Structure formats: structure tokens, C-alpha cells
Chain A
């Protein structure tokens, strides 16, 4: 039973208690630069969810079935990066061909997240924590959703912030980092609920 429930608890844990952005500070650069507007952060968030949920199990397969048998675990960084890059490129081409609308809303973000460290981070965590294939999928999916939740929440706050009085020295990235800190603290409130391991 516990085994059966594990993927689900990891799914929720990766959204709330160990949010990849707010507890591990991964994927900060696009989080800070693209969170100005709600609509674009939703687009980027959706792209991250999709890419994380697919590349994490993909990398799991490459790692378990290719790298481990040949004792090449130390090559995982370079391999994960190429797999992610190729997959993102492929998705972009498919979107452009078959779904013009989706390409317009997600397409421009896809090249951007090839180098999003949260994506690589999810693949590396899944190795360190020795997840199974199914757990990896739920972990990647959940981490993506968690990242999206954080950036959308931040975009909402920053929309309000446009009319707020911010001390001159804190304008722009300064106040955004301060808010990210508050958000991280707020998310710590979830930490008693479930844990990833």
C-alpha cells in the first residue's frame, strides 16, 4: 500500500513541501525575468510542466538502461543535457507543424527552458533519490506544477506591485527577490505534511 501511494505523495510533496523553485532555488533566472505578466508566466509555466514531466522519466530510462549497465553514471550531466535539448527541439518542431495556436503560446518559451536549471535539477534529484520510473514521472510532473504555481503567484503579486510604492533601491529584481523569500517561508508551512525522500 505504502509503495502504491508513494508516487502520489511525491507528486504533492514536489508541488508544495519541496517546491523545486522555493526550496531549492532552481530555475531562478526565468522566474525573475518572465514573472512580470500573468499571461506569459502561465505560458512559460505550462511549457515547464510539459518538459519536466516528459524529460524526467526519459532521463530515468537513459540512466537506468544505458548509463548504469555500462558504469557511466558520471556522464549523466552531459547526457541529460543533450536529451533535454533534443527533446525540446523535437517538441518545438512538432508544435509548429501541428498546433499553430499552441506553438504561439508555448513555442517561444521552449528554447528558453532548454537551459532552465530546474529541468536538469529534476532529473538529477530523481537519480540521487533513486526513484522508480513511475515515481520519476510524478516527481517531474509535480515539480513542474510547483514551479508554475510559484511563477504564477509571483506574477500575480508583481501585477499588484506595479501600482505599489516600492523604495527606489528595491525596484525590479530587488523587491522580487524579497517577495520570493516571503513566498518560500510561506511554503515552509506545508513542510510538516509530507516529505520527499
Chain B
């Protein structure tokens, strides 16, 4: 009896040990890519990383921050870099984001490329200026029932140099069921003049990893890591009249641009259309009114698509595209800056096209 017990335990152990041994050997041989070197911009920087990880993560570890709104899941298509050597074949997950022109230039999604051999990459010069910042939450306030304004005070480094309209990435630490750090991109709402603070407007997305973290866990005084700045959504230096269109937390980059215009007393003609569902989704109305008075040629047009009876709304009613179509007669000389959901932006581009705005003068930030 005792021996059969021992034998059965021994056999099970033997099988397990044997399989475990195979796995360990496999991990050390098949799964081991050794140390690989990464060469950036033809030798401007060179370093060694452990193979097997993604290029995005490897570059991040070395302090080179490639923008990635989705946090490496291959769904945003932002983390493009040129991989000159050692990138291997294009993967099916990359193809939707890469067009023929980019293919010729060997552009890859760095979150999908695994570092398996020595790799040579080319990265836009400005990404070298992207840094990681440690910050403290100075203030959190409710803008609407589902949008919070979060003010971060920069600690280390204690100053950031951004252009109005650019965005940063918010690093969400492990919390609750989320067992690894994730990054999410948010536009900066504060003007570049205030280099020691970064203000974000974050709308609660049900089930969103970062938005739930900010809305349910983040407190004043907490430490937050961000990196940035990124993006080419900033005011072009021309004299063309400006049309701003935003919805929801798309307010953030426009607000930053407006505050910058106020500081410089920019005389360009500007109209800002802000779309919301009902009055409870509107915010910063007083600030916008003040800006109308202090920026030489600026008009703010809030519009509600579904005003409630108790709103007593006397302003514009309708979808933001209808309001723009109604209020702007001719815009062939204008530039347009849009920030909002992809659906809203696509609809706006269509309307602006009809009003005569050239496509290369429409700048937008989709989220």
C-alpha cells in the first residue's frame, strides 16, 4: 500500500519534473534572445537591451519615449518608427496602420516589433526632447458630472516646455485588477506660459482603465508620472481666420491655445464652436466669456444638441456640424482646428470641406 502510494507520487513527479525541465531548457534556448543592441539615428545613441521584448518597451526603458495612446496593444497606430535593420517581416497587426509610402521607408509600429537581433532605428529628432516627469496632484475639480480637471505640479524635472495644443502621456500605476502600468494620452489644457504646471481634462469613460483610475482613485497630493510633450496639434503661424471645433474633453487643447492667444494678444479672427448634449455637459463658460473680452477678435459659440426643458437654453441648438454650417458662410481662407471623437471630427471635416476649407488646413486631434 505504502509503496504504491510512493510510486504514484514518484511517477507524477517524474512527469512534472520532466516537463518542467523541458520548459526551462526551452526558455533558455528558444525563448532566449540574448542581449541585443539598438542603434538610434545612425549611432546618435547606442545601447543594449534584453531580447524578446517589444521595441517600444526597450526604447522606453532607455528614456526614449515614443508616443503610444493605446499603451502597446497595436490599436492606435501612433508609435511609428523607422526600423532600418533587424525588424523582420511586417505583421498582420501592423498593416492597417502602414500605407505604401511608409512601407517603402520601413516604418513600423514599435509596439508590435519584437527585438530579436540587433536593431537599427530612426526616430524623429523632437522625440529626444520628450522626458519623463514626476508630478504631484495639486488640485482636482469637477467641470461637469463626468469631466474632471486635474492640475499637476511638476516636481522632477520641474519645468516642461510645450506648445499650446500638445499632449502628454499619463502613466497609470498598477491598481485593482490592473496588474501592469499603462499609458494614456491627454491634451494639456494649461497654457505654455505656466511651465511648472500641467492641467488635464479627463472625462470618465465607463470601464476605461485610466479614466476610472483618475475618477475613483486619484486624490490631491498623489504622485503621478507623465511623459511628453507629443503631437503636432498646435496653432500654425499664419494670419488666416481660425475655426476651432471641440466637444467634451476636446476643450483641453483649444483652451490652452486660447490662453496662449490671450497672452500674446493675437489679433487673428477666431471662432470657437463647442458642442455638448445638454447644459450639464457645458463647462468653463465664464472663462470663455472672459476670453471673448480679452482676446481681440474671438467669439465663443456653445451649442447644445439635446437641450432639456429645464435648461432654459437661449443659445445655439443642433449638432455642432449644423451650427458651423449655419453660422459660417464662407471659409476658404480659414484654418480649422478640431478636437473630439473620431465620429465628430469626420463629420466636421466633411462640413468644413463644403465651406471651402482646404484639407491641408484642417488640423485635428482624434481621441
Contact = CB atoms under 8 A, between A and B. Distances in A.
Given A70-B7, A86-B23, A100-B89, A94 B30 contact: yes
Interface in A58-72: 62, 66-67, 70-72
A97 B89 contact: no
A104 B93 CA distance: 8
Contacts of A28: none
Given A82-B19, A89-B23, A100-B91, A72 B30 contact: no
B8 A75 contact: yes
A86 B24 CA distance: 11
B339 to A, nearest CB: 34
Contacts of B14: 66
Nearest to A101: B89
B30 A86 contact: no
Contacts of A100: 88-89, 91, 114
A105 B23 contact: no
Interface string B1-21: 000100110011011100100
B193 interface: no
B23 A62 contact: no
A93 B31 contact: yes
A95 B121 CA distance: 25
B30 A78 contact: no
Contact of A86 (B12, B19, B31, B116): B19
A100 to B, nearest CB: 6
Nearest to A89: B23
Contacts of B22: 86, 90
Interface in A89-138: 89-90, 93-94, 96-97, 100-101, 104-105
A71 B4 contact: yes
Interface on chain A toward B: helix, strand, loop, or mixed SS? helix
Given A82-B19, A86-B23, A104 B91 contact: yes
Nearest to A105: B92
A105 B95 CA distance: 14
Interface residues of A, number: 22
B15 A93 contact: no
B350 interface: no
A93 B12 contact: no
A196 interface: no
Nearest to A62: B15
Contact of B11 (A67, A83, A96): A67
B26 interface: yes
A109 B304 CA distance: 46
Interface in B83-114: 88-89, 91-93, 114
A93 B19 contact: no
Interface in B20-39: 22-23, 26-27, 30-31
A172 B12 CA distance: 43
A153 B52 CA distance: 37
Nearest to A74: B8
A168 to B, nearest CB: 24
B366 to A, nearest CB: 26
A78 B13 CA distance: 12
A79 interface: yes
Task: Sort A-B residue pairs by CB-CB distance and give the 9 closest, nearest first.
Answer: A86-B19, A93-B30, A97-B30, A93-B31, A104-B91, A104-B92, A72-B8, A70-B11, A93-B26
25 contacts: A62-B15, A66-B11, A67-B11, A70-B8, A71-B4, A72-B7, A72-B8, A75-B12, A79-B15, A82-B19, A83-B19, A86-B22, A86-B23, A90-B23, A90-B26, A93-B26, A93-B27, A93-B31, A94-B26, A96-B31, A100-B89, A100-B91, A101-B89, A104-B91, A104-B93
Interface of B: 4, 7-8, 11-12, 14-16, 19, 22-23, 26-27, 30-31, 88-89, 91-93, 114, 116
Given A79-B15, A86-B19, A97-B31, 6 more contacts: A72-B8, A75-B8, A79-B12, A93-B31, A96-B114, A101-B91
Interface of A: 62, 66-67, 70-72, 75, 78-79, 82-83, 86, 89-90, 93-94, 96-97, 100-101, 104-105
